[in-house]
């Protein structure tokens, strides 16, 4: 009886060991399978893209040791030169501008249309006088704005006692009007200015604008013609030009950024545009 029990226990022990060995082998097989089927994801290498630098052409004049970016015609010729300024130039160092004896005159923007007043006009005209420049004032003409309103606006700023030069009217737009309506508006306004200041104003416009809209219409007035080329301007009707604004990108010590520069043509001179008090 005892022997039978011993045999049964041995049989159970052997069976248990066999089952454990089979389970262990199955676990190893599963681990091996997982290792074999595991995907290794490789990191992508960053591809460096080289940016092509934009090479700007170098102004050959900059390689000239004697090149002066402020040098202009007024430094190399005998013409009478001047500038025109508005609030676009910001703060102007008038003491420095006044020391530049090449600049004989300055036209300052006073007004535009019926209600715009240049915010720097009063300060500019006071300091320009203080540092010895001959000063004139100009109005930007808006053909569709009521003429009396424009005249009153200009009169509030362009005071005769403060003027060395005759008033200038800046004519650059038709306001979308047909030429006959535009010219009618302009002529009536010029007559009003002339009666107010008892002298004809100087007229400023671009050559192409004159040739297209004013050809043969304003023969009695002195002209300042803007044309930014190396050659002096000529009008299609061949009429005389008093002054030439030859650049809008001039430089002058005392003014930050660009400035419009002009000069008299031919035998014309400063005496022709002096304000008669």
Nearest to 204 by CA among 251, 155, 166: 166
CA separation (Å) from 237 to 165, 176, 183, 265? 27, 24, 17, 17
Mean pLDDT score of the chain, rounded to an integer? Answer: 84
Token pair listed for 199: 């002298």
CA separation (Å) from 160 to 127, 137, 157, 274? 17, 10, 9, 12
Predicted TM-score (pTM) of the model is: 0.75
Give residue 38's pLDDT band: very low, low, confident or very high (50, 70, 90). very low
Q: At what angle do helices 179-197 and 147-157 cross, to 10 degrees?
A: 40
The mean per-residue pLDDT over the stretch 255-270 comes to 93
What's the pLDDT score for residue 22?
47
The mean per-residue pLDDT over the stretch 122-150 comes to 96
Say which DSSP state 172 is in. -
H or E segment at 246?
A: strand 243-250
Token pair listed for 80: 């009478």
The mean per-residue pLDDT over the stretch 113-141 comes to 95
Q: Each residue of 205-216: pLDDT tens digit?
A: 999 999 999 999
User: Of 33-37, 143-147, 228-232, 247-251, which range is least confident?
Assistant: 33-37
What's the pLDDT score for residue 8?
61
What residues does 245 pair with on adjacent strands?
A: 226, 262
Q: Each residue of 90-124: pLDDT tens digit?
A: 788 899 888 876 889 999 999 999 999 999 999 99
Say which DSSP state 144 is in. T
What's the pLDDT score for residue 77?
85
More confident call, 37 vs 262:
262
Q: Each residue of 228-250: pLDDT tens digit?
A: 998 999 999 999 999 999 999 98
Q: Percent of the chain, pLDDT > 90?
A: 61
Nearest to 186 by CA among 197, 201, 207: 201
More confident call, 64 vs 239:
239
H or E segment at 155?
A: helix 147-157
Longest dimension (CA), the chain: 153
């Amino acid at each position: 009886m005892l022997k039978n029990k011993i045999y049964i226990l041995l049989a159970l022990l052997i069976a248990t060991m066999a089952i454990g060995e089979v389970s262990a082998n199955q676990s190893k097989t599963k681990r091996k399978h997982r290792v074999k089927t595991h995907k290794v994801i490789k990191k992508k290498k960053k591809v460096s893209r080289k940016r092509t630098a934009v090479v700007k052409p170098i102004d050959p004049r900059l390689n000239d040791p004697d090149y002066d970016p402020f040098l202009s015609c007024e430094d190399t010729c005998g013409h009478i030169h001047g500038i025109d300024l508005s609030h676009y130039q910001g703060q102007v160092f008038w003491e420095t501008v006044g020391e530049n004896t090449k600049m004989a005159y300055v036209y300052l923007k006073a007004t535009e249309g019926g209600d715009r007043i240049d915010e720097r006009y009063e300060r500019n005209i006071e300091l320009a006088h203080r540092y010895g420049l001959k000063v004139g004032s100009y109005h930007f003409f808006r053909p569709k704005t009521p003429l009396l309103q424009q005249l009153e606006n200009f009169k509030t700023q362009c005071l005769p006692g403060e003027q060395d030069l005759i008033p200038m009217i800046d004519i650059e737009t038709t306001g979308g009007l047909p030429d006959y309506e535009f010219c009618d508006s302009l002529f009536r306004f010029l007559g009003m200015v002339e009666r107010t200041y008892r002298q004809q104003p100087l007229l400023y416009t671009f050559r192409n604008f004159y040739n297209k809209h004013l050809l043969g219409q304003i023969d009695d007035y002195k002209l300042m013609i803007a044309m930014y080329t190396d050659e002096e301007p000529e009008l299609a009707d061949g009429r005389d030009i008093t002054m030439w604004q030859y650049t809008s990108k001039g430089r002058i010590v005392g003014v930050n950024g660009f400035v419009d520069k002009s000069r008299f043509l031919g035998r014309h001179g400063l005496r022709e545009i002096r304000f008669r008090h």
